[in-house]
């Protein structure tokens, strides 16, 4: 493994803690009935978005999923407009028109969470196509779940990206659950990465709960894409700790199973153990980060709760771009 | 003015816009090597290269989805659907992604994609290669929908669509590609959202568009022989509908016939009839008439296919009935 700078190590921890605390805060306020709609939490999967996005530039693109808060945070999204959006406020990223499932920040190449499972592949393919046409080396990363790997868009997107050698990295987050269905009961292969052979591209499997491993494998795939060598299918093995959505009664699995798995896979716990054992970060340094992030999350919450809801005059705003042609 | 075909007019529009703006590119099935199944892309690859005029796999969801993604990354893609019927394959990309991205993300971005969709009945292409599906698109907030009836508007609307920052579905009737007509050279733009009063009259308003405009005009000529003055409007844009032009005409003629090739049930005619009934009832002297395709999948055999569409005589008889 190549040497990772302390700055990057701190970034890993800061980002993962930020995602974890953000999600826990959302969970709490959703259960209090303060958040409309549905929310899908990224708890337990923090290492994936963090490790992948740590390799990206601001000008690179990502497409996200309905479980997208972690992707936005890892790509450099701001907590305040994210929180405000989830609470349906005017100051949110989407002025309250998107909500949890539709957060985007185009200023950092975050091309949107997507309410349609498997809706992101081809948007990423198009962004990769744009990079190639524009003659730059920006890449596009498409995050998608194990359930989404069974959409037809998976096939069309991977084939086209491979056929045109586009700079796209397909990052599968195999959290074992397609909504309430164990992925293995509805999926033809054990490993989603096995499907890469059908497209003539590398298929790589990595421990999705190990941010260092994700970072390293993603770096290879991203370098390959930047060099014009085409896409990679990177499968990150993880486990969905929370229900499909907040409030999911989770009748399809036992609490014991979740607790047992999480004890072994919690990416933050794994990080802390490794950081301490290898002297990468001290307990004190991590506590300082925890405190700082807790404060940032609290501020974003206050910002959201103190923000107005959009007014009726905004209903038709942004439907069409006016005054063109 | 020089006359060129509808197909040549679209080709000229593409070339001018690709010349003018390097962000414009076009992709679709069989467009580069073959030049498009109707020859509507012939010569473009030689001029702009096969990266900007790109043959794609037969993957409609990928083609439309990638068009949207490329637009989000700063390009202005034109996506050729081969046949309008195949939009069905990529409907999620059209109505959940392309149409909603700007609004759903709070106006952070624009989605300047043009979907070119050759539609309509030609040479017994049967149920899956002949449809007119513009009403389906009208039902989706966030899309613009245009549909030229002649070479000049084919050029003008395509150029306008490419320059528009909103997603635009551009329907082009397959039987129009070979039709010739006068087309202005250079920067000719047809405004989106503006209908065209092609023939003025006082006794009845006939609204149509696309290939069926020819039938509407033919019917108007026949009516003129009988002393009836029909006002004929070429809608040109399906979304947003130019209600101003429609209402003004109905206020003058007090009678309305809408005729199109698409299925009558739930068609554009139904929407226009509803709007006029809601807003212009006091001006109407007779019931509104809608003419459209019969409520069946388009049959293959010419013996059956010839029965599904409204005829010139249907239009004439309808007008005579309501003018009475």
Rounded to whole angstroms, how far apart are CA atoms A304 and A79? Answer: 10
The per-residue pLDDT for range A58-100, each reduced to its tens digit, is 999 999 999 999 999 999 999 999 999 999 999 999 999 999 9
Rounded to whole angstroms, how far apart are CA atoms B124 and B301? Answer: 7
Put simply, whether B109 touches A (Cβ < 8 Å) is yes
Query: Could you tell me the CA-to-CA distances from A298 to A42, A67, A80, A218, A294 in Å, in that order?
Result: 19, 22, 10, 32, 6
Backbone angles phi, psi at B232, to 5 degrees: -115, 125
Put simply, whether B88 touches A (Cβ < 8 Å) is no
Confidence (pLDDT) at A2:
66
Nearest chain A residue to B67, by CA: A126
Q: Would you say residue A213 has pLDDT above 90?
A: yes
Confidence (pLDDT) at A325:
46
Q: Smallest CA–CA separation between A315 and chain B, in Å? A: 10
The predicted model gives B140-164 an average pLDDT of 98
The predicted model gives B295-317 an average pLDDT of 97
Minimal CA–CA distance to B65: which of A226, A100, A118, A109? A118
Confidence (pLDDT) at A1:
60
| Active-site amino acid positions of B | 129
Confidence (pLDDT) at B104:
98
Percent of chain B with pLDDT over 90: 99
Residues in chain B, how many? 324
Query: Could you tell me the CA-to-CA distances from A77 to A15, A82, B111, B272 in Å, in that order?
Result: 11, 8, 21, 45
Examine domains B3-182 and B196-323 and report if their fold is the same: yes
A122, A153, A318 ranked by CB distance to B106: nearest: A318
Return the CATH number of the domain spanning residue range B196-323.
3.40.50.920
Domain boundary assignment for chain B: 3-182, 196-323
Put simply, whether B227 touches A (Cβ < 8 Å) is no
The per-residue pLDDT for range A7-65, each reduced to its tens digit, is 999 999 999 999 999 999 999 999 999 999 999 999 999 999 999 999 999 999 999 99
Q: Smallest CA–CA separation between B255 and chain A, in Å? A: 32
Residues of chain B contacting residue A128, judged by C-beta atoms under 8 Å apart: 69
Q: CATH says B3-182 is which class?
A: alpha beta
The predicted model gives B36-42 an average pLDDT of 91
The predicted model gives A114-142 an average pLDDT of 98
Q: Smallest CA–CA separation between A273 and chain B, in Å? A: 39
Element (H, E) at B172: strand B168-173
Confidence (pLDDT) at A322:
86
Confidence (pLDDT) at A37:
95
B96, B106, B166 ranked by CB distance to A98: nearest: B106
ipTM value of the model?
0.96
Domain boundary assignment for chain A: 6-314
Confidence (pLDDT) at B324:
76
A103: three-class secondary structure by DSSP: coil
Q: Cβ–Cβ of A125/B66 closer than 8 Å?
A: yes
Percent of chain B with pLDDT over 70: 100
Name the DSSP letter for residue B94: I
Confidence (pLDDT) at A3:
82
Where do we find the tokens 């509805």? A186
A216: three-class secondary structure by DSSP: helix
The fold of the A6-314 domain, in CATH, is Rossmann fold (3.40.50)
């Amino acid at each position: 493994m190549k040497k990772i700078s302390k700055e990057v190590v701190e970034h890993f921890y800061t980002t993962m803690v930020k995602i974890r605390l953000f999600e826990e805060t959302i969970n709490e306020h959703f259960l209090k009935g303060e958040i409309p709609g549905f929310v899908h939490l990224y708890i337990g999967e923090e290492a994936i978005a963090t490790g992948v996005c740590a390799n990206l530039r601001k000008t690179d693109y990502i497409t996200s999923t309905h479980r997208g808060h972690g992707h936005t945070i890892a790509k450099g999204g701001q907590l305040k407009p994210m929180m405000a959006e989830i609470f349906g406020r005017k100051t949110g990223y989407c002025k309250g028109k998107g909500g949890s499932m539709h957060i985007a920040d185009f200023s950092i190449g975050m091309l949107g969470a997507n309410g349609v499972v498997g809706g992101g592949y081809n948007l990423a393919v198009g962004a990769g196509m744009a990079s190639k046409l524009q003659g730059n080396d920006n890449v596009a990363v498409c995050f998608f779940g194990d359930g989404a790997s069974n959409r037809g868009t998976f096939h069309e997107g991977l084939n086209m990206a491979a056929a045109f050698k586009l700079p796209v990295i397909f990052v599968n987050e195999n959290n074992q659950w397609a909504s309430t269905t164990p992925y293995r009961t509805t999926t033809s292969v054990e490993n989603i990465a096995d499907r890469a052979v059908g497209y003539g591209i590398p298929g790589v499997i990595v421990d999705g709960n190990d941010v260092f491993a994700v970072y390293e494998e993603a770096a290879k795939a991203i370098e390959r894409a930047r060099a014009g060598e085409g896409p990679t299918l990177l499968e990150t093995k993880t486990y969905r700790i929370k229900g499909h959505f907040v409030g999911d009664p989770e009748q399809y699995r036992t609490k014991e199973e979740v607790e047992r798995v999480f004890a072994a896979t919690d990416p933050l716990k794994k990080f802390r153990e490794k950081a301490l054992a290898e002297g990468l970060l001290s307990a004190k340094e991590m506590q300082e980060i925890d405190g700082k992030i807790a404060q940032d999350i609290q501020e974003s919450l206050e910002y959201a709760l103190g923000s107005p809801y959009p007014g009726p005059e905004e209903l038709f705003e942004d439907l069409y771009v006016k005054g063109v042609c | 003015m020089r006359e060129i075909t509808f197909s040549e007019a679209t080709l000229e529009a593409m070339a001018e816009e690709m010349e003018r703006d390097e962000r414009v590119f076009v992709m679709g099935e069989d467009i580069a090597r073959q030049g498009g199944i109707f020859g509507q892309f012939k010569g473009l690859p030689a001029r702009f290269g096969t990266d900007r005029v790109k043959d794609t796999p037969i993957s409609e969801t990928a083609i439309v989805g990638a068009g949207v993604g490329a637009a989000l990354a700063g390009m202005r893609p034109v996506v050729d659907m081969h046949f309008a019927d195949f939009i069905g394959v990529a409907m999620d990309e059209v109505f959940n992604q392309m149409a909603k991205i700007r609004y759903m993300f709070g106006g952070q971005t624009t989605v300047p994609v043009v979907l070119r969709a050759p539609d309509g009945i030609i040479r017994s292409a049967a149920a899956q290669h002949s449809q007119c599906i513009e009403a389906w698109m009208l039902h989706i907030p966030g899309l613009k929908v245009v549909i030229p009836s002649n070479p000049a508007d084919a050029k003008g609307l395509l150029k306008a669509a490419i320059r528009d920052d909103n997603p635009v579905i551009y329907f082009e009737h397959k039987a129009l590609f070979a039709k010739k007509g006068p087309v202005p050279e250079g920067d000719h733009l047809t405004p989106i959202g503006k209908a065209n009063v092609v023939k003025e009259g006082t006794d009845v308003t006939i609204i149509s568009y696309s290939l069926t405009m020819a039938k509407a005009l033919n019917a108007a000529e026949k009516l003129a022989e009988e002393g009836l003055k029909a006002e004929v409007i070429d809608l040109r844009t399906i979304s947003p509908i130019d209600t101003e032009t429609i209402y003004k005409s109905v206020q003058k003629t007090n009678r309305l016939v809408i005729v199109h090739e698409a299925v009558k049930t739930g068609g554009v005619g139904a929407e226009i009839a509803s709007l006029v009934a809601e807003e212009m009832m006091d001006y109407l002297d007779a019931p509104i008439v809608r003419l459209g395709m019969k409520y069946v999948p388009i049959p293959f055999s010419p013996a059956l296919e010839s029965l599904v569409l409204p005829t010139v005589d249907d239009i004439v008889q309808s007008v005579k009935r309501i003018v009475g």
